[in-house]
Chains A and B, each alone.
Chain A
Amino acid sequence: GNSVTQMEGPVTLSEEAFLTINCTYTATGYPSLFWYVQYPGEGLQLLLKATKADDKGSNKGFEATYRKETTSFHLEKGSVQVSDSAVYFCAPLFGGSQGNLIFGKGTKLSVKP
């Protein structure tokens, strides 16, 4: 069946370090792929998305590339800031016309100054 697996945290980095959060999915088709971010005390908000193979989503210095061959959508940022501290969720959109987002478990990122 359809599923998503996300790198478990927590992840602690120093400011300006490189970030990778791994996300892989299992699907019968080719879902659209999303990363959502949840800052402390807030609801989730869309960070970036990719709707087809080889698409690269980007926003706020974060990037993720839709890799059909490896069914992956890893989130990367070259230089993290303290303000990036949050929980990050990978979310494929499975299910065609009745599709709904299925969220990964979330990865908590803490960035230290």
Chain B
Amino acid sequence: DSGVTQTPKHLITATGQRVTLRCSPRSGDLSVYWYQQSLDQGLQFLIQYYNGEERAKGNILERFSAQQFPDLHSELNLSSLELGDSALYFCASSIQGTPNTGELFFGEGSRLTVL
């Protein structure tokens, strides 16, 4: 158990819909990272937050947004969903912001299926 909690574990929805994925980092960790894992693209970095502020952005679509709340949990919002958004979405946390040490603790992921 990494200590990172993600909900929901599975989600099935239709094209055009909006979903919210939630992540609770390990106790004491200030940084939260979101990754998307799909068969064709592999594991893609989406976005990082540190203590409530956006710290780094990766390959995140404009239809996606995220935030980190004062209690340090984070939410990833995916809107106008397309079939290609079907993937496993991972949250990871670490105590550091920058420089990033590379030592991340991953949750078990939220599997999104868009029909």
Contacts and interface: CB of A to CB of B under 8 A. Distances in A.
Interface of A: 32, 34, 41-46, 49, 89, 91, 93, 96-106
A44 B102 contact: no
Contacts, number: 60
Interface in B15-40: 33, 35
Given A96-B99, A97-B99, A100-B33, A46 B104 contact: yes
A71 B114 CA distance: 39
B106 A32 contact: no
7 contacts: A43-B92, A93-B102, A97-B99, A98-B55, A99-B99, A100-B58, A106-B42
A85 B45 CA distance: 25
B33 A106 contact: no
Nearest to A103: B43
B102 A32 contact: yes
Size category of the binding interface on chain B: 20 to 34
Interface string B91-110: 01000001111111111110
B47 to A, nearest CB: 10
B106 A43 contact: yes
B80 interface: no
Contact of B108 (A43, A93, A97, A101): A43
B65 interface: no
Given A43-B108, A98-B56, A103 B100 contact: no
A43 B90 contact: yes
A41 B33 CA distance: 20
B42 A105 contact: yes
B48 A42 contact: no
A45 B2 contact: yes
A4 B4 CA distance: 27
B103 A46 contact: yes
Given A43-B108, A106-B42, A99 B103 contact: no
Given A46-B103, A106-B42, 18 more contacts: A34-B102, A43-B90, A43-B106, A43-B108, A44-B92, A44-B104, A49-B103, A91-B102, A98-B55, A99-B102, A100-B45, A100-B56, A100-B100, A101-B45, A101-B102, A101-B104, A103-B45, A105-B42
